């Protein structure tokens, strides 16, 4: 076994280790140096492939907080072969399309593209879209109408509304899809769409749209999962300030003190609850079970 990378942040070290484990055939170990740094060891025969994987993961460290971690990373390899400390590349020299592709996966980008397409079509056929995509017409006794618990996610009635939701979806959803897999994001999409939409429709009626509930579910999922199990879910953990902002925004909506804003409060509250419950379940049971198997 040889050292391939030394990192001074535990969450990022786990992210590198987990990615290497999924790509390399030989064992990968993470050792605590007891001085605030963590070293990943690999089989010498995997050195070249591991170096490529590390470069790929580094490119995914786009946000400011992770970029700072990447800048402080001290990496090297033995046997006379060395790697220079890595830094997450700046997005300024990359096209917008390239940034979107690097931030999100196929599911993330497909959902965002569908939202943009529906938003543009709304200028030409608003009545038809509302007729087919809104929650109006849903009934438990008519299975053919059950899709209406999901389709309101794709309806947005303002550019700012769409832009904020799409940005958070690609940013947080992309992290989940790339680090935890498409299945985890798909489950979160389904839960974060169906339950909040049903709650809003049941409480206030079918006149709503947008993926705010799903976005709130993503934020709360990433926060609680990273908090409860940083070794497994540290790569998707979001800054605590974002969770505080999300909770405050939902509470302000309930208090109805935001002028000129009609908010789907049930969607927001249900989204936060779903994200917290699903994130806690993944962190305490699914993640915990995986960790025990690795040991």
The catalytic residues are 212, 268
Over the range 262-284, which residues count as b (16 or more CB within 10 Å of their CB) and which as e? ebbbbbbbbbbbbbbbbbbebbe
CA 176, CA 27: separation in Å to the nearest integer?
A: 24
Q: Which residues pair with 40 in a beta bridge?
A: 5, 30
CA 195, CA 213: separation in Å to the nearest integer?
A: 9
Residue 13: Cβ within 10 Å count: 24
Are 271 and 212 a contacting pair, CB within 8 Å? yes
CA 59, CA 47: separation in Å to the nearest integer?
A: 19
């Amino acid at each position: 076994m040889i050292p391939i990378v030394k990192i001074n942040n535990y969450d990022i070290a786990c992210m590198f280790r987990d990615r290497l484990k999924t790509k390399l055939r030989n064992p990968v170990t993470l050792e605590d140096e007891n001085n605030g740094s963590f070293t990943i060891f690999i089989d010498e025969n995997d050195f070249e492939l591991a170096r490529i994987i590390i470069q790929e993961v580094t490119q995914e460290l786009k946000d400011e907080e992770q970029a700072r971690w990447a800048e402080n990373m001290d990496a090297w390899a033995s046997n006379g072969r060395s790697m220079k400390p890595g830094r997450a590349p700046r997005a300024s020299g990359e096209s917008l399309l390239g940034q979107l592709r690097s931030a999100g996966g196929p599911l993330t980008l497909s959902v965002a593209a569908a939202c943009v397409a529906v938003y543009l079509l709304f200028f030409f056929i608003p009545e038809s879209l509302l007729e087919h995509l809104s929650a109006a017409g849903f009934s438990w006794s008519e299975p053919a109408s059950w899709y209406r618990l999901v389709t309101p996610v794709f309806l947005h009635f303002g550019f700012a509304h769409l832009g904020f939701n799409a940005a958070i979806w690609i940013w947080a959803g992309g992290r989940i899809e790339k680090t935890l897999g498409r299945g985890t994001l798909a489950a979160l999409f389904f839960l974060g769409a169906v339950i909040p939409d049903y709650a809003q429709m049941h409480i206030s009626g079918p006149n709503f749209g947008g993926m705010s509930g799903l976005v709130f579910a993503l934020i709360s999922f990433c926060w609680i999962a990273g908090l409860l199990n940083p070794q497994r879910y540290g790569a998707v953990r979001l800054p605590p300030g974002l969770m505080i902002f999300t909770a405050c925004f939902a509470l302000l909506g309930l208090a109805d003190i935001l002028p000129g804003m009609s908010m789907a409060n049930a969607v927001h509250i249900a989204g936060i609850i779903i994200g917290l419950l699903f994130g806690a379940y993944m962190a305490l049971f699914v993640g915990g079970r995986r960790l025990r198997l690795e040991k």
